Structure 1
Amino acid sequence: MSRHVAIVTDSTAYLPPQAMERHRIVSVPLTVVLGSQALEEGTEISARSVAQALQKRKSVTTSRPAPEMFAAAYRAAAAAGAEGIVSLHLSAEFSGTYDAAVLAAKDAPVPVRVVDSGMVAMALGFCALAAAEAADSGGDLDETVAAAEKRAEGTSAYFYVDTLDYLRRGGRIGAAQALFGSALAVKPLLQLDGGRIELREKVRTASKAIARLEEIVVERAGVGAVDIAVHHLAAEERATALAERLRERVPGLAELYVSEVGAVIGAHTGPGLLGAVVAPK
């Protein structure tokens, strides 16, 4: 079945491969630089490799896709019959990915609407799914963008990290917040707010922080229909346990995804990350 609007996102959406295939969502990879090697997320480097490198205190940085990578994706979509493209990306506060997509869109063979979701991980993924569902239903460019933006407005993301040091090193959180998180062995709970990472609460121990994370997610989910994603980095047992508890406690749960984040987000959060995305339907 042909579709007039194609959906493009980037590799930080961490969508399940089956969902991407089913909804024909194209992903453009960001790059992880490990030592002197530049590797594409998703195909050339795993999150586990990044976690191991960070634990050994090796240099790990990330970079946006080149505009030509987006241009190639847009050309391919047009060649496949798309009359327009919605290109959805992680928060411009985190990366130059949005800017690269905007540059590529200027010379695309069909109209491209580039959207800064203000999100990352499955918070971005849920926006891409909403856009794809709108396009599958025959939505035009405006309707497809509106569906993605509406999902973004209602979506919340919360996460726990063992240390703020990796976020500080990458410039994703302020030095004052990082210093605070290190003082007195405080374990911070963070959230996405306005496309930025903000400190939400301070908790004394890891176990209490994870318990509080669960409570926040349950409260935010409420009783209506909701999709949830649980993310982790090198913390599979924590993530599985949290997912099972949420399955029991969230009455309107529709889809529940559990996955390890990719190399790009892992490079900035470090091992021990546990996060949850709440996306009301």
Structure 2
Amino acid sequence: MLAVVTDSTCDLHPATARALGLHIVPLQVVLGERTFLDWQDIDPDAVYDHQRQGGRVTTQPAAQEAFEAVYRQLLATHDAVLSLHLSGQLSATAEHARQAARALNAEDRVRVVDSGLASIALAEAAIAAREAVQAGGDLQAALAAAQATGRDLLVEFTVPTLEYLRRGGRLSRTQELLGNMLGVRPILGFQDGRLQAVRRVRAASAARDILARLEERFGRDPVAVTIGHAGRDPGRIAELKAAIDASRLKVVRGRLQLLGPVIGAHVGPGTYGLLARRVEA
């Protein structure tokens, strides 16, 4: 039997992860003097409310000890563990997972993988691995499914305000002011494990621009589409769903995810992303 472990930056709600058969190791969110376990001790909207009030939010990687506890428990009932994590360019979480496997002398049974992804993209890879296990696949089959999904998917994000990227050190104050003056926003995508600006567009056309890239990539192939949104905003989410319905994408499956506390701490409320990947019709 094979267990699939990932971390909380996959942004799957804990109940959803359990239903999927995924095991989640949480990162940590720090608000002022208080530290919370991502998704477990704190709701995403609490982070966004804190940010809107001018509060500082920082994050810490999942602890080695947390991985040791999860691996020890799973190895008592499973033959092996595939542990799939957010990009090592963004966090030391994957390295802490490797250290935990070494500390338990379990490197032959625990395969730790740096996905090069985060958030809804990491969720897609983890779900693909779990589906491979449910289909009877072994560790290599699950790993191949996760890696193939990571290569095939396309995900891009954008932000309604530049304030939180500037607060997090990703933009200078001058870049923030200039972007606001011109009414432009970055489109963010994963490149070499980093979330970087791949282009800049007018704020009002950002969703349409992302959808155009998805259409260009996938054409009329059947796709699964995921909306990731930072905060509960029914109006904005309805607009994004309507834009997807009006696009040329052949959507056969869809999912909505809230971006979690750790991811939200770095991008701020109102950030959203659209992801598509090929699936069988």
TM-score by length of 2: 0.89
Question: Would the alpha carbon gap of residues 86 and 168 (structure 1) be closer, same or farther in structure 2, given more than 3 Å must change?
Answer: farther
Cα RMSD, aligned residues only: 2.2
- 8 Å contact from structure 1 (residues 87, 113) kept in 2: yes
Q: CA deviation at 1:274?
A: 1.5
Q: Which amino acid aligns with 1:91?
A: S
TM-superposition CA deviations, 1:2-53 (whole Å, max 9, x none): xx11000011112255652343110111110000000011121111111111
How much has 1:181 moved relative to structure 2? 4.0
Match of 2:239 in 1: 241
| Mapping of residues 139-158 of structure 1, within 5 Å | 139-158=137-156
Shift, 1:208, TM fit: 1.7
Contact 2:215-2:249 at 8 Å conserved across structures:
no
Deviations 1:106-158 (A, max 9, x none): 13456111111111111000100111111122222222111111111111210
Distance in 2 separating the partners of 1:178 and 1:78: 49
Q: Deviations over 1:92-111 (max 9, x none)?
A: 11111111111111134561
Among 2, 12, 21, the alignment partner of 2:9 is: 12
Name the % identity.
Answer: 35
Verify the 8 A CA contact 1:155 1:280 in the aligned structure 2: yes
Contact 2:228 2:257 in 1 (8 A): yes
Conserved 8 A contact 1:187-1:202: yes
**3-state secondary structure, aligned to 1:38:** strand
1:48-73 deviations in whole A, cap 9, x for unaligned? 11111111111110001110101111
Alpha-carbon separation, structure 2, partners of 1:165 and 1:86? 37
Deviation at 1:170, TM superposition (A): 3.1
1:30 aligns with 2:27: yes
Which sits farther off after the overlay, 187-196 or 210-219? 210-219
More off after superposition, 113-122 vs 8-17 = 8-17
Match of 1:226 in 2: 223
Higher alpha-carbon deviation: 243-252 or 5-14: 243-252
Change over 3 Å in CA distance of 1:195–1:181 after alignment to 2: farther
User: Match for residue 270 of structure 2?
Assistant: 272
Are the equivalent residues in 2 in contact too, given 1:220–1:278 (CA < 8 A)?
no
Q: Is the contact made by 2:186 and 2:197 (CA closer than 8 Å) also made in structure 1?
A: yes
The answer on whether the counterparts of 2:120 and 2:257 sit within 8 Å (CA) in structure 1 is no
Indicate the residue corresponding to 1:57 in structure 2: 54
Distance 1:176 1:150 in 2: 39
Give the alignment of 1:1-281 within 5 angstroms: 4-17=1-14, 19-79=16-76, 81-108=77-104, 109=106, 111-171=109-169, 173=170, 175=172, 178=175, 181=179, 184-204=182-202, 206-234=203-231, 235-281=233-279
Aligned AA (1:258): L
Q: Is the 8 A contact 2:166 2:173 kept in 1?
A: no
- In structure 2, the residue corresponding to 1:106 is in which secondary structure? helix
Shift of 1:240: 2.4
Matched letter for residue 60 of structure 1: V
Taking the aligned partners of 2:41 and 2:147, their CA distance within structure 1 comes to: 31
Structure 1: gaps of 5 or more residues? none
Amino acid corresponding to residue 189 of structure 2 in structure 1:
Q
CA distance in 1, matches of 2:117, 2:49: 26
With over 3 angstroms needed to count, the CA separation of the structure-2 counterparts of 1:227 and 1:86, relative to structure 1, is same
Tell whether the 8 Å contact from 1:239 to 1:274 is kept in structure 2 after alignment. no
TM-score by length of 1: 0.89
